[in-house]
Chain A
Amino acid sequence: MIDYSRVLNKTVTEIKPSGIRRFFDIAATMDNVISLGVGEPDFQTPWQIRKAGINSLEKGKTKYTSNKGDAKLLEEISTYMKRKFGLTYNPLNEILVTVGGSEAIDAAIRALVAVGDEVIIPQPSYVCYEPITRLAGGVPVIINTKAENDFKVTPEELKAAITDKTKVLVLPYPCNPTGAIMEREDLEKLADVLKDTDIMVLSDEIYAELTFGGKPHVSPASVDGMFERTVTINGFSKAFSMTGWRMGYACGPAPIMEQMIKIHQFAIMCAPTTSQYAAIEALKNCDGEVEYMVNEYNMRRRIMVAGFNRIGLTCREPKGAFYAFPSIESTGMTSEEFCEKLLHSKKVAVVPGTAFGDSGEGFIRASYCYSVEHINEAIRRIDEFLKELR
């Protein structure tokens, strides 16, 4: 009998599975649960995008594309990056189409990080950066961003985290779960710290289209001195409501992309062809659809934030992504405790802030990818829950 604990790679076995999974499995067995848990849009992929996928199938476009992606899609990504964020990437050697943003993050970290290299990760943030860093043999260095700084990374925090082993700084903005964004002046301050170093920035901009309050997303690579040190990661899941299509991309300096393409070539071959054809349509003709969805999210965002504040859970205004991140400190409970009790007593599922790092303690993440009616009902139940605590 094989002792699998001896066969398996320790780096992998030591990675903790997401504790949230267990929590959602409980929710799944209960009736009448109202969830604010999901991290994906409720809108269908716009019909014209689906149609483009179908058309490509009808035409028999069912073969591999080139490793880095279909040439037409690479061109469209280049055009899109230019018109949205003022970034100039050469479609021939500075863009790679990946299987979702996740693969782009993995390829970027693997291309940059060797054993012992440090990766600075601001938290609370999406859960993948730490395990991917560990799988590459790297060492995660966590910056615990603070509510009073609107969960932005400050130059002081960055300076304190940098050592001579620092290889990569992850910038996960607009941020899941905090809804924080980094504005141009915030990024300029970080750029000052980074200039004259060899530290690379991995900028995960999957929520770039989803910013609110008239402040469009600023891509770190567009800040003076940052282009040469930034790998920009984006994708179609959130902006175009295309989570299941698994379409993302990375853009960056050619020498880095060349290595990332190599990793992608051997691990993935190429991103799914049907999805690539659909993605072309998304970039070319869907500004109106995106605007509609952003407008909807914005209304839901206001309803949710006003709701939490009304019932006594302090909630800062999230400026990007589609999550509210209210504080539950007033209840005296830990985040896990709060979520577990709320689920059992009122059948509302939200995610404890600690799922996104220790600094998420005292917060919960509530997604507003739901109808206004759904959000109102959830807030009503949470209000009942809070009243029964007093």
Chain B
Amino acid sequence: MKYEILKLLARNAKYTNEELAVMLNIDEKEVAEDIKQLEKDGLLRGYKAVVDWEKLDEAYVSAIVELNVVPKAGLGFEEVAEKIMKYNEVESVYLMSGVYDLNVVVKGKTLRDIAWFVAKELATIDSVTSTTTHFVMRRYKELDVDLVTFDKDDRGQLFV
């Protein structure tokens, strides 16, 4: 049942325990306990809104930065990854297969913010040998959520 709870919360973190209980046909208390356990075990890491920042007048820019890194003996990429993820500007950090090592999503108010951040912070880390920055031009879908269209319900043409 924990897995079912996770699937539903991943879809909509706003479901109340009561709703989850009804949907899954279990006791509300069981839901509360399961969620507590999932949080404690670190499976449920947070509950966040999906925001379309571009709709806001305030400036918002993000970029994907590809980093090539020299791994450290015994530590691999962990040390540098942990260092990078601590920055507030960094939204996500992934270790990648393929032609580069770390994929870092960076956000800021302006292109220059991000350029400076990459140049001054990321590029200067000892084990980082090169950076490639790709600015995001338009967001279509994020965290499973469609940011472009508002689905219009075009049913109801027929009475059945």
Contact = CB atoms under 8 A, between A and B. Distances in A.
B74 interface: no
A40 interface: yes
Contact of B155 (A20, A38, A302, A306): A38
Nearest to B153: A42
Nearest to A40: B155
A24 interface: yes
A18 B160 CA distance: 10
B103 to A, nearest CB: 28
A37 B156 contact: yes
- Specify the main secondary structure of chain B where it touches its partner: loop
A306 B12 CA distance: 20
A32 B18 CA distance: 27
Given A372-B15, A373-B12, A39 B159 contact: yes
Contacts of B25: 302
B153 A28 contact: no
A35 B155 CA distance: 10
Nearest to B160: A39
Interface string A15-34: 00010110010011000000
Interface in A210-265: none
Interface residues of B, number: 14
B39 interface: no
Contacts of B59: none
Given A299-B24, A303-B23, A18 B155 contact: no
Interface string B7-40: 0100010010001001111000000000000000
Given A372-B15, A373-B12, A299 B156 contact: no
A300 B19 CA distance: 10
B21 to A, nearest CB: 9
Interface of A: 18, 20-21, 24, 27-28, 35, 37-40, 42, 126-127, 176, 299-300, 302-303, 306, 351, 355, 369, 372-373, 376
23 contacts: A18-B159, A21-B159, A27-B156, A37-B156, A38-B155, A38-B160, A39-B158, A40-B155, A40-B158, A40-B160, A42-B153, A42-B155, A126-B160, A176-B160, A299-B8, A299-B23, A300-B23, A302-B22, A303-B19, A303-B23, A351-B159, A372-B15, A372-B19
Interface of B: 8, 12, 15, 19, 22-25, 153, 155-156, 158-160
